Amino acid sequence: MSKQDDDVEKGLVERDYSNREYSVGEILRERGVSRRDFLKFCSAMTAAMALPVTFAPKVAQALDEVKRPPLVWLEFQDCAGDTEALLRSANPTVAEIVLDILSVDYHETIMAAAGHQAEAALEKTITDYKGKYLCVVEGAIPMKDGGVYGCVGGKSHLDRARQVCGGALATIAVGTCASYGGIPAAVPNPTGAVGVREAVPGATVINLPGCPVNADNLTATVVHYLVFGKIPALDGHGRPLFAYGKRIHDNCERRAHFDAGQYVEHWGDEGHRKGFCLYRMGCKGPATFHNCPTQRYNDKTSWPVGSGHGCAGCSEPAFWDTMGPLYKRLPNVPGFGIEHTADKIGIGLAAGAAAAFAVHGALNAIRKDKEPNDETREG
Amino acid sequence: MAKIVVDPITRIEGHLRIEAEVNNGRITDAWSSSTMFRGIEKILKGRDPRDAWFWTQRFCGVCTTVHSIASIRAVEDALKIKIPPNAQLIRNIIIGIQNVQDHVIHFYHLHALDWVDVTSALKADPAKTSALAASLSDWPNNSPAYFKSVQDKLKSFVASGRLGPFANAYWGHPAYKLPPEANLMATAHYLEALEWQKDVIRIHAILGSKNPHPQTFLVGGMSIPIDPDSQNALNADKLMEIKRLLKKAQDFVEKVYIPDLLAVASFYKEWAAIGGGVGNYLCYGEFPDAAGNQWLPQGAILGKDISKVLPLDQKKVAEYVDHSWFEYASGPEKGLHPWDGESEARYSGPKPPYEYLDTDKKYSWVKAPRYDEKAMEVGPLARVLVAYASGHKEAKAAVDLVLNKLGVGPEALFSTLGRTGARGIDCLLIARQTPTWLNELIANIAKGDYRIHANEKWDPSEWPAEASGYGWHEAPRGALGHWIKIKDQKILNYQAVVPSTWNASPRDARGQRGPYEAALVGTPLADPAQPLEILRTVHSFDPCLACAVHVVDATGNEVIKVKVS
C-alpha cells in the first residue's frame, strides 16, 4: 500500500474492519445492496444452478457466512469476450457483486496497476493465498515452440498457467478457448493451442465453455462453490451439469415447430417471421449441451435462436471443426422430430468430436483418467 | 539512458508490451510489441465464406461487431450482393450503439484511472462535489447525499484492505492533478457507467441475440426477422425498447461523459502538446444509406494538414514485416497488398522468460501496415479530423464547441488529449445520429417492407468460380479492412488490416515508427518506476491487440499473386 493509502486508512476511515473479516452478505449491505436485492440475487443463483426454489434461503445463509475469497483472472490466447460477458452480467449487477463477493486481485483488462506493479499484485495473491485462491482462465494456451505464441511480462502463457492454476484451489476455464482450445485450436491449430485441463493436467479445472461464456453460469459456479464448499458435479467434458446437463434442443422454445415439421426455409420467410424451427438453416441445437434457452443473455433479453439465428454449437469441444459449416444442417435429417432421432444426431456428433480431438492430439481431454474423480469433485 | 518495460499494459484488450528509452525524464525512443498470436486467418482457409463473419468476430470480444461487419461487407462486395434497406439500417444501429458503448467504457473503465486518482476521492467534500456536478450538467444523480454514499462505499472497500483491481496502482503519483471533488465525481460515474453499459448494449441482444458476439449477421443481410404481427420478430414492442435504450445512451453521453471529459481535460491542458504521433490520419468513412452514401466521410490527412482531405485508394494499403515475427517469400523490405499477403509466422525473439526484446530486429506479432508508404493513425481522432476538414456540419459544430470550452485551437487535437477528446466528440455525434436510423427503419416497416435478407446468392451454386472483394468499416478504434478471395465456393485467401495493427505497428522497412511509438517520443516521465504517462498516451489510442494480431494469410506457404484491379 502506498503512503497515501495509509493516510486514508488512518485519517479518513472511521470504522475499523481489521479485527475480523466480514461476510459477503454483510459487505453487500454495507455497500448499499438491500436485503431484498440480495435475496433476489440468491434466488437467481439458485435458478441458475438448477436447484429447487427451496434452496434459495440456504444460498442466502451460506453467502452470509462466507468471506470474500481472492480470485485472479488470467487472459491467454483470448479475445476478451468472456471478460466482456462478465461486464454484462446482470444477475447480480456486475460491479457490486463481482467486486464484493470476490476480491478480484488480478485482471489485466480492468485493473488499475500495469507492468511490474501488476505482476507484483499477482505474485502477492498467489503467494499469500496459496491453495486458497480461485483462478479464472480466459483463452487457450499455445504449447508449440516453447510457448512463444503467448507471453505476458516476458513469461509464456504455459509457464504462467502452470504456476497460477497449479496453486489454485480450483480453476474455472471460461469460454471454449480456455476449456478446449477453441478457435486457435481449430485445424490446423498453428500454435498448438489447448485448454487448461490439457496444459495443466494436475489442476482442478471446471470448464464453462460457450463463445463467450454466459456470465450467469460463471457466477453460479462460484456461488455453488461458496455455498456448498465443493465444485459442482461435472459431465464428461468437465462441464457443470447444472448448466450443461441438457441439450439446447430439449429446452428450445421452438421445439414444438420441430416436432410439427415447421421449418424456416429462407431468411425472412414467413416461417422465419413466425418463429419456426431453424434446423434446416443449420441450427446445431440438437447436438449442443447448454442452458441458453433458459438462462438467455444480457439480463435474459435473448439468445441466438430467440433472435432468429441457429445455434452454432459453441459449447461443444472442437465445435469449430465438428459443427461447421455454420449453415449446413446436421446429418441424418429427421423429418419429424422424434426423440431417438435427435439422440442419434447427438451420438453422431460426439463421435465426430472424438475423431477431431484425436487429430488434434487432444485425446487427453476425453480420456477417462482425466475426468475428475470423486476427490476432486469434493473440491 | 535507461530502458524501461511496461508489460502487461493493462486496461486494454489483449497483450501489449511497451519498451521505452528514457533520458533526463523524457522518453527518447519507444517500441510497441504484441506478444500473443493465434493465426486465425490461416485457420479460415478452405472454409465457407458465409461463415467468415462468425470466425473473424472472434478476433475481438471487445469491439465484438466490427469484424463481422467488415467480413460480410467483403463477401458481399466479392459476390456483388445488394442488401435490403432494413438490413442496412439495422447494421447502422448496431454499429452506432457499439461505438457509443465502447467509447464510454474506454473513457471510464480503461482510460479514466490514468487521470483520476480514486484514493483522492476519499478526501472529497460531498457537498462541494455535488455543487461541481450541478455546475456541469443537470444529470439527476448529483445530490450531496448521493456522492456521500459513493464515498462511503469506497471507504469501506478501501478499509477492507483488499483493493482487488485497484491494488498497487500509481495512486498519489505527482502527475495526478484533479482536486478530490473531481476525483469523487469521476469515480461515481465510473460505477454508473458500469451499470449503464450493460443496459444500453441490450440493443445488440434484441437485434442480435447477445453481446458480446451477437449472432445475427448474414452475408446478404441480417437474421433478425421483421414482422409487427409476430412475437418472434422485430415488432413494435422491441422497436420501442431500442428507442428507449438509445435515448438512455444519448442522455448519458450528453449529461455525464462529455461534461466529465471537459472537466478532466481542463486540468490536463499540458497534454494537448504531448503525444502527437505520426500526424497522418486515415478514415474509411461509415454509416452508408440505402444508396451507399456515407454519413461520416472517408479520406486521408497527411502531415497534420487539415486544409485538404485526400481521396482513398485501397491499392495503396500494404503491410511490412521487417520488424514483425513473419517472413515473406518475396523477401524483406517490400510491403504486400492485402490481396497478395503472406503470413508465415517465424518467431525470432528471445526464448521466454525474457527481460528485453531485441528491438533492433524483429520484436512484435503485429505487422506494419502503411498507406502510400506512410504510417497512419486511425481511430476517433482520424474520423473527427476527416469529418471536420470535410466540412461535416455536425462534426464541425461539436469540435468547435469543445475547443472553445477548453480555450484551445485546432492544433490541440494532434495530441494525447486531442485523441481522448475526439473520442468524446465521435461518441456524441453518433449517439445523436443513431436514433434517426431507427426512425427510418420504423418508417420503412410502416410502409410494409419486412425484407431483411437478399436471398438470390445465398446458395453457393449461384456464385462465380472465383471472386474477390474487400469490406471497409469504421470500428470504434478506427479504419478496419477485410480483404477476401473466394475460389470454388471456399475461402482462398483472407486478410484483415485492423485499427490496432495501424496504431500498434512496429517500425517498417524504412525504420518509420508506428503511431504508438511516435506518440511516446517526447513524453515526460516524472518517475520511470511508475510510468503513468506512458499509459496515458498508449490508452489514448484505445489499444485492441487481439484484433491487431490475427495473421491474415489463409494461404499458408502458397504464394498467391493477384492482379489488383
Q: What CATH number did the domain enclosing A189 receive?
A: 3.40.50.700
Would you say residue A66 lies in a domain?
yes
Domain identity same for A106 and A199: yes
Contacts of A23 (CB under 8 A, 6+ apart): A63, A64, A65, A66, A67
Q: Which of A242-246, A341-345, B382-386 has the lowest mean pLDDT?
A: A341-345
Would you say residue A7 lies in a domain?
no
User: Quick check: A355 pLDDT over 50?
Assistant: no
Predicted local distance difference test score (pLDDT) of residue B504: 95
Helix (H) or strand (E) holding B55: helix B52-56
Domain identity same for A163 and A254: no
Residue of B nearest to A194 (CA): B38
B205 vs A119, A302, A312: nearest CB = A302
Would you say residue A5 lies in a domain?
no
Domains and CATH numbers, chain B: 2-315+372-548 (1.10.645.10)
Q: What angle do CA B549, B76, B232 make, to 5 degrees?
A: 95
Domain identity same for A75 and A131: yes
Q: Do A15 and B149 touch (CB under 8 A)?
A: no
Beta bridge partners, B495, equal: B483
Burial degree of A251 (CB within 10 A; 0-12, 13-18, 19+): middle
Residue of B nearest to A87 (CA): B198
Structure confidence by residue, pLDDT tens digits, B144-178: 999 999 999 899 888 888 888 888 899 999 999 99
From the list A132, A68, A122, the residue with the least C-alpha distance to B165 is: A122
From the list B165, B15, B155, the residue with the least C-alpha distance to A103 is: B165
The rounded percent of chain B whose pLDDT value lies above 90 is 84
Domain identity same for A199 and A348: no
Q: Do A79 and B453 touch (CB under 8 A)?
A: no
Q: Do B232 and A15 touch (CB under 8 A)?
A: no
Predicted local distance difference test score (pLDDT) of residue A18: 36
Domain identity same for A124 and A224: yes
User: Quick check: A4 pLDDT over 50?
Assistant: no
Altogether, the residues listed in chain A come to a count of 379
Q: Do A273 and B226 touch (CB under 8 A)?
A: yes
Contacts of B444 (CB under 8 A, 6+ apart): B85, B86, B89
Selected residue of A307, A314, A328, A360 to mutate for chain B interface (largest B Cβ count, 10 A): A307
Contacts of A200 (CB under 8 A, 6+ apart): A161, A162, A165, A166, A171
Question: What's the gap in Å between the CA of B114 and the closest CA on chain A?
Answer: 8
Q: Which residues of B touch A212 (CB under 8 A)?
A: 61, 212-213
Contacts of A108 (CB under 8 A, 6+ apart): A73, A75, A118, A152, B8, B10, B11, B12
Domain identity same for A230 and A343: no
Q: Do A113 and B167 touch (CB under 8 A)?
A: yes
Predicted local distance difference test score (pLDDT) of residue B213: 97
Domain identity same for A175 and A300: no
Q: Do A8 and B158 touch (CB under 8 A)?
A: yes
Beta bridge partners, B552, equal: none
Q: Do B171 and A4 touch (CB under 8 A)?
A: yes
For chain B, first and last CA: distance in Å? 49
Contacts of B340 (CB under 8 A, 6+ apart): B560, B561, B562, B564
**Residue that is last in its domain, among A215, A244, A273:** A244
Would you say residue A229 lies in a domain?
yes
Q: What CATH number did the domain enclosing A324 receive?
A: 4.10.480.10
Active-site residue numbers of B? Answer: 13, 60, 63, 67, 477, 500, 544, 547
Structure confidence by residue, pLDDT tens digits, B222-280: 999 999 999 999 999 999 999 999 999 999 999 999 999 999 999 999 999 999 999 99
Cα–Cα dist B222/B194, whole Å: 29
Structure confidence by residue, pLDDT tens digits, B53-85: 999 999 998 989 999 999 999 999 999 999 999
Domain identity same for A169 and A204: yes
Would you say residue A147 lies in a domain?
yes
Contacts of B129 (CB under 8 A, 6+ apart): B144, B147, B181, B184, B185
Q: Do B546 and A78 touch (CB under 8 A)?
A: yes
Domain identity same for A195 and A176: yes
DSSP letter assigned to residue B112: G
Q: Do B165 and A105 touch (CB under 8 A)?
A: yes
Selected residue of B38, B206, B549 to mutate for chain A interface (largest A Cβ count, 10 A): B38
Domain count, chain A: 2
Contacts of A185 (CB under 8 A, 6+ apart): A140, A177, A193, A194, A195, A318, A320, A360, A362
Would you say residue A370 lies in a domain?
no
B64 vs A84, A149, A309: nearest CB = A84
From the list B268, B273, B356, B280, the residue with the least C-alpha distance to B523 is: B273
**A315 contacts A209 by C-beta, under 8 angstroms:** yes
ipTM > 0.85, yes or no: yes
Domain identity same for A205 and A272: no
Would you say residue A13 lies in a domain?
no
Question: What's the gap in Å between the CA of A216 and the closest CA on chain B?
Answer: 13
Could you tell me the pLDDT band of residue A54, with boundaries at 50, 70 and 90? Answer: confident
B165 vs A110, A140, A211: nearest CB = A110
Q: Which residues of B touch A32 (CB under 8 A)?
A: 149, 153
Burial degree of A235 (CB within 10 A; 0-12, 13-18, 19+): middle
Structure confidence by residue, pLDDT tens digits, B505-564: 999 999 999 999 999 999 999 988 899 999 999 999 999 886 666 433 233 222 222 222
Selected residue of B146, B215, B486, B538 to mutate for chain A interface (largest A Cβ count, 10 A): B215
Predicted local distance difference test score (pLDDT) of residue A65: 65
**A341 contacts A329 by C-beta, under 8 angstroms:** no
458435479: which residue's cell? A233
Would you say residue A375 lies in a domain?
no
Selected residue of A10, A74, A79, A94 to mutate for chain B interface (largest B Cβ count, 10 A): A79
Q: What is the mean pLDDT of residues B105-122?
A: 95
Residue of B nearest to A305 (CA): B209
pTM (two decimals): 0.90
A114 vs B6, B123, B223: nearest CB = B6
**Residue that is last in its domain, among A229, A244, A259:** A244
A306 vs B172, B209, B349: nearest CB = B209
Domain identity same for A175 and A280: no
B198 vs A30, A90, A109: nearest CB = A90
Q: Do B227 and A273 touch (CB under 8 A)?
A: yes
**Residue that is last in its domain, among A182, A211, A244:** A244
Domain identity same for A259 and A240: no
Contacts of A64 (CB under 8 A, 6+ apart): A23, A24, A25, A26
Q: Which residues of B touch A75 (CB under 8 A)?
A: 15
Domain span at A336: 248-359
